[in-house]
Each structure stands twice: as C-alpha cells, then as structure tokens.
Amino acid sequence: MEKYIDAAVEQFKTLLTEQIAREKKMEEDKCVTDYEKLDKIIIGICGGDGIGPIISAESERLLEFLLKDEIAAGKIELRTIEGLTIENRIAHGKAIPDDVLAQIKACNVILKAPTTTLKGGTLESANVAMRRELDLFANVRPVCVPDENIDWAFFRENTEGEYVLGSRGVEIPDTLCFDFKVTTKEGTKRIARAAFEYARKNGKTNVAIVTKANIMKKTDGMFSELCHEVAKDYPEITAEDWYIDIMTANLVNERVRSKFQVFVLPNLYGDIITDEAAQIQGGVGTAGSANIGDKYAMFEAIHGSAPRMIEEGRGKYANPTSMFKATEMMLSHIGFKEKADKLGKALKICTEEQPKYKITGRADGATCSEFGDYLMETISNL
C-alpha cells in the first residue's frame, strides 16, 4: 500500500506543478485574433466519428453556398481535416494525433462534428484535448424558445474543473480511486468577464453564477468569489449565486425559468445543464456550441456521434440542425453577421414556421441532404 501512496504523492506533485505553470501561461499569453485584419480566414472542418462525416459534409456544402464569393476571392479557405477519428486516435494512443493537431492549428477557426469518447481507459476526449491545446476557455451555448419567453446564454468554463485532469486520476487497485478538480484565478476571471461582457453588449441585466460552493468549498467557492469580483466592473448587471442542483430544477420550472438570462458556471455543471436546456429547446440535435479562445475558436454540434445510427444503416437520416446552428455561430464570430442572421432566420423557417421536411432519424423522415437542400433554397428566397 505504501508504494501506491508514494506514487500518488509524486503524481500529484507533477500535476500541481503543471497546473501552476498553465495558470502562469494564461496570465502572460494575451494574443488575440482579429478576424477583420486577416487577409484570409482558414476554416478547418473535422468530420469526426459516426454520423459526424455526414453532417459535417452537409455543413461544408452550406458554407460553400453561403461564402461562394469570398471563397472565389481568396478571402475564405475551407480545409477538410482528416484523422480525428476514434480508430486513428487509438492507433496513435493520443486524443489528437500530432499531425492532426498541426493541421488544426494551421487554421483560424474549426467547425467540428461529433467525436467518440471511450468509456474508461486513459485515452482522453478529443474535445477536452482540443479545448486545452487551443485554449478554448469559453463554451458558449445559446438556447431560445420564444413562445415560452426563454432566451438563455450559457458560459461554461471549458478548460478546467473535473475535465482538465479527467484521464490522470490516481488508482489504488481494489481499494479506491481519486480524480481531480482544478479552478484557477485566471481561468475563472476570464470566463466570468466573457459572460458579463456578453450581458452588457446584449442588454442583459442578470447573470446567474452556478456552483456547488456549499459543498465544493475550495474550487467552487473560489469560482463564485472571483465571479463576484468581476461583477463589480458591471454595476448595471445583477449577479446572483445559485447552486447547480436547484438550477437544474429551475430550468424546468415554468413559473421562474424565464427570468434567467445569462449563466456562468464551471465545466462539468455546464456540460450537464446545457444538455438539459437544449432538450427544453427541442433536443440536443437543435443546439450548436461555440468554444472560444483568444487566438482560436471551434464550433460544434453538442450531441454525440450516434454510432447506433451507423450500425443500423440510418446515417443518411442524421439531423444536421445542430451543425447548422454551430455554422451560424461561427459565421457571426468571424465577422459575417449578416450571413449568420440569414442562416438563423432560414433555420427558424425550416424547423418551426414552415417545415417542409421532418427529420426523424429514420426512413419515415427526410435525409440530411434533403434538409440541407431545403435550407439553402429557403436562404435563396429570403
């Protein structure tokens, strides 16, 4: 038993040293990409696993349609990035193989389809690795249900919490396991500032700080404290503390949920509650996700790779809506707000107002490409 304890102490020392260095790097690295000043914006498209290549191909077709003139003028370049598959990742023993990561870093922005994450083992999630490698600290997920007066924006810290060391825990065989949760000053302050800046720019008056600080007193306690420190710079905005358990209940409480506007929360809580929020909107297939850093940005569907659909031969019936939502968010982020708004309006028509096709995931519904054709036809008629 003593040898396991000694090994665990050494491992924790290594992890602690690494995380202190990471926090220091955050403080020093202030490189920010200004997309308006780039001669050319390179958009990398990662197909991923399962239904990923199907819905990403449809998104690439949509981008070629929307950005036809910019691509022809050399202002936009679309690059297909191969190799972010579970088979290739297992073969290399890395969440993102080195050559694939180099391709990703050669782009300014990434549009990413779902990737498979294995249960157990030590192979890290590709999403977690990409967020760390590109320092994509803000996971931004909007949820809107106008008929129920719901207009939410979730700012989930994306590079810390339980996920940053999720594959590097300690195990004493047949006895116990430890995993680690990390909260840093710089990591928390920058996600808090992103949430409050969004609130200010969009006329929001309330930011909910969601933690479990009554139990996780060090990590979540620090997160809440730092968010309130940042809030002092935004006196026109009310900052309220909420615990994650009651907030999950509040989102389905029709009497109170419409009062919420902007949420800022640590990594794991944000991962869970944004899926709940997406389900209220109509399902995880209806929501896109932005992963924003100072230098890079990555946009993705929030659902998984749906391997069962592929196994059952239903891949062509996959719903591309979440990838299209991510495409809308990406266009807005890189400076094509008008095109993004037109895409958003067309998506609303195609899914809510005048749905010509219904996607069911099966042969009784539309195919992915049929829905894509309908969406582009709708955009052309706006």
- The pLDDT tens digits of the residues spanning 182-232 come to 999 999 999 999 999 999 999 999 999 999 999 999 999 999 999 999 999
Amino acid identity of residue 288, one-letter, is G
Q: Is the pLDDT of residue 75 over 70?
A: yes
285 pLDDT band (50/70/90 cuts)? Answer: low
- H or E segment and range at residue 239: strand 238-243
Average pLDDT over residues 83-94: 95
Cα dihedral: 30, 241, 275, 42 (round 10): -10
**In 10 A of CB 378, how many CB atoms?**
20
Q: In this predicted structure, which of 46-55, 117-126, 232-241, 289-298 has the lowest mean pLDDT?
A: 117-126
Go through the chain and tell me how many residues it has.
382
Q: Can you give the pLDDT at residue 160?
A: 94
Average pLDDT over residues 11-15: 93
Q: Is the pLDDT of residue 350 over 70?
A: yes
User: How far is the CA of 323 from the CAs of 12, 34, 102, 140, 312, in angstroms?
Assistant: 39, 24, 23, 14, 22
Helix, strand, or coil here: 58? helix
* Residues 135-147 as b or e (16 or more Cβ within 10 Å = b): bbbbbbbbbeeee
Is the distance from CB of 370 to CB of 319 less than 8 angstroms? no
Check residue 69 and report its DSSP letter. H
Average pLDDT over residues 292-313: 93
User: How far is the CA of 296 from the CAs of 74, 117, 136, 325, 381, in angstroms?
Assistant: 20, 23, 7, 19, 33
Q: Can you give the pLDDT at residue 120?
A: 77
Is the distance from CB of 344 to CB of 324 less than 8 angstroms? no
370 pLDDT band (50/70/90 cuts)? Answer: very high
Q: Is the pLDDT of residue 13 over 90?
A: yes
Helix, strand, or coil here: 82? coil
Q: Can you give the pLDDT at residue 355?
A: 86
Tokens 């003028």 belong to 73
What are the residues whose beta carbons fall under 8 Å from the beta carbon of 186, sequence distance 6 or more?
A: 23, 26, 27
Q: Is the pLDDT of residue 93 over 80?
A: yes
- Please state, rounded to an integer, the average pLDDT across all residues of the chain: 94
Instruction: Give ∠ CA 275-278-280 in degrees, rounded to 5.
Output: 115
Average pLDDT over residues 15-36: 90
Nearest Cα neighbor of 298 from 115, 172, 27 is: 115
DSSP per position, 313-332: T-GGG---HHHHHHHHHHHH
29 pLDDT band (50/70/90 cuts)? Answer: confident
User: How far is the CA of 324 from the CAs of 55, 119, 214, 348, 361, in angstroms?
Assistant: 9, 28, 39, 11, 16
Cα dihedral: 185, 127, 8, 187 (round 10): 0
Q: Is the pLDDT of residue 377 over 90?
A: yes
H helix runs in the chain, sequence order: 2-28, 52-66, 68-72, 86-92, 98-105, 126-133, 185-201, 219-231, 244-250, 267-281, 307-311, 321-333, 337-348, 368-380
Positive or negative, the Cα torsion across 270, 275, 281, 286?
positive
What are the residues whose beta carbons fall under 8 Å from the beta carbon of 61, sequence distance 6 or more?
A: 372, 376
Nearest Cα neighbor of 207 from 253, 265, 256, 157 is: 265
Q: Is the pLDDT of residue 107 over 90?
A: yes
Backbone φ and ψ for 372, nearest 5 degrees, come out as -60, -45
Q: Can you give the pLDDT at residue 28?
A: 84
Q: Can you give the pLDDT at residue 115?
A: 95
Q: Can you give the pLDDT at residue 30?
A: 76
Average pLDDT over residues 43-50: 96
Average pLDDT over residues 61-66: 98
Q: Is the pLDDT of residue 361 over 80?
A: yes
Q: Domain 31-136+293-382's class?
A: alpha beta
Average pLDDT over residues 104-132: 90
